[in-house]
């Protein structure tokens, strides 16, 4: 039985994953640029072979837990388990709703998005592994609100602001004032752009803007020529992610993500339903299907590809 999310949810999930993949591409570009700039003065330069040698030789697929963190609350409000298939050039991604009820090792049963705030990457990994009954190979956490200094180092990022955006929340020290139009945003204005969500689309609109901003940021990164600022830029970028991946693995995954067409990302949502427990709103996983949720996405992708193009494999 398929559990394909509705069209709107599929767009939301794909934008969320593409936002994270875009960031990996940015990080990869920054690392590569910094290494190449470093080679101008290094006594032992990094060789081209070291840069291009695949990091996952002999590995046909790996499973990555991708987390997007809200730096105000400290919770991970985007949680995606992505099976990256290097041979078939595809990604099978399962979105876990942030209110999913889960056992958090060393703590208690609560919402899954609290796992990182309570115990860091390893606790988040173990929580999701126990929830799905799978092994997670790598974890990457993205702090999307931390790009203010990066944007300023780049000299600003050009964005077509789709409408006037005004919102004030003194408690959160949030002051958003943006005018509609194509304009160059400095770090402060860029931060306002990616945080705005106070319209009918809510979080969906914010995710769309974050994805749009990351693509513009990646484009600016690849065009950037100020080699002398690369070490500082790389340091600032690396401060916005937390991962157990090596530099070579980040570079390889960045290259894979940059070349991956959107139609090769197959999405699904953890099966379950909302429920109130002791006055709190939870998402309760379907126990009969949760252990097969990732497999169902791949099988759905296989059926979809076969029906569209004969006896093909995704």
Parallel, antiparallel, or unpaired for β 138-143 and 61-69? parallel
Q: Give the pLDDT band (50/70/90) at residue 15.
A: low
Q: Give the pLDDT band (50/70/90) at residue 130.
A: very high
Least confident of 92-106, 119-133, 230-244, 290-304: 230-244
Cα gap 126→115, rounded to integer Å? 9
Angle at the Cα of 269 from the Cα atoms of 119 and 73, rounded to 5 degrees: 35
Contact (CB, 8 A) for 265 and 93: yes
Per-residue pLDDT reduced to its tens digit, 268-311: 888 999 899 999 999 999 989 998 998 888 888 877 766 665 44
Q: Cβ neighbours of residue 147 under 8 Å, at least 6 residues apart?
A: 187, 190, 191, 194, 217, 240
| pLDDT of residue 4 exceeding 50 | no
What integer is the mean pLDDT of 179-200? 88
What integer is the mean pLDDT of 191-202? 79
Least confident of 18-32, 39-53, 97-111, 244-258: 39-53
Cα gap 279→132, rounded to integer Å? 26
The DSSP code sequence of 223-285 is H---GGGHHHHHHHHHTTEEES--HHHHHHHHHHHHH--GGGEEEEE--EEEEEETTEEEEEE
**Domain spanning 7-146+206-309 has what CATH number?**
3.30.420.590
Instruction: Please report which helix (H) or strand (E) contains residue 159, including its range.
Output: strand 157-161
Identify the residue with better confidence: 24 or 196.
196
Q: For residue 190, with 0-12 CB atoms within 10 Å meaning exposed, 13-18 middle and 19 or more buried, which class applies?
A: buried
Contact (CB, 8 A) for 36 and 29: no
61, 161, 162, 185, 203 from 180: Cα distances, Å: 43, 5, 6, 12, 20
Rg (CA), the chain: 20
Specify the pLDDT at position 259: 76
Specify the pLDDT at position 244: 87
Both structure tokens of 286: 């379907």
Specify the pLDDT at position 75: 83
| pLDDT of residue 31 exceeding 60 | no
- Percent of the chain scored above 70 by pLDDT? 71
In the chain, what are the domain boundaries?
7-146+206-309
| pLDDT of residue 208 exceeding 60 | yes
Q: Give the pLDDT band (50/70/90) at residue 33.
A: low
Specify the pLDDT at position 177: 92
């Amino acid at each position: 039985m398929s559990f394909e999310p509705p069209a709107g949810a599929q767009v939301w999930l794909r934008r969320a994953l593409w936002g994270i993949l875009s960031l990996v591409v940015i990080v990869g570009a920054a690392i590569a640029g910094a290494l190449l700039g470093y080679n101008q003065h290094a006594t032992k330069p990094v060789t081209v072979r070291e840069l291009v040698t695949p990091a996952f030789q002999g590995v046909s697929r790996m499973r990555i837990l991708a987390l997007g963190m809200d730096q105000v609350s400290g919770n991970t409000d985007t949680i995606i388990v992505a099976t990256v298939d290097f041979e078939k050039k595809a990604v099978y991604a399962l979105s876990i709703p942030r209110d999913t009820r889960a056992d958090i090792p060393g703590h208690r049963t609560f919402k899954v998005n609290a796992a990182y705030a309570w115990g860091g990457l390893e606790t988040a990994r173990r929580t999701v592994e126990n929830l799905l009954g799978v092994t997670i190979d790598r974890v990457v956490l993205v702090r999307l609100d931390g790009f203010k200094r990066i944007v300023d180092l780049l000299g600003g990022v050009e964005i077509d602001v789709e409408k006037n955006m005004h919102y004030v929340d003194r408690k959160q020290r949030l002051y958003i004032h943006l005018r509609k139009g194509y304009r160059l945003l400095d770090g402060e204005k860029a931060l306002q752009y990616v945080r705005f969500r106070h319209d009918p689309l809510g979080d969906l609109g914010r995710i769309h803007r974050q994805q749009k901003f990351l693509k513009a940021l990646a484009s600016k990164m690849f065009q950037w020529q100020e080699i002398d600022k690369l070490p500082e830029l790389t340091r600032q970028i690396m401060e916005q992610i937390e991962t157990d991946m090596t530099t070579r693995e980040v570079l390889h995954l960045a290259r894979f993500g940059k070349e991956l067409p959107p139609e090769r990302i197959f999405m699904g949502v953890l099966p379950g339903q909302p429920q109130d427990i002791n006055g709190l709103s939870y998402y309760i996983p379907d126990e009969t299907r949760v252990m097969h949720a990732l497999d169902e996405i791949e099988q759905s992708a296989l059926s979809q590809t076969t029906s569209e193009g004969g006896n093909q494999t995704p």
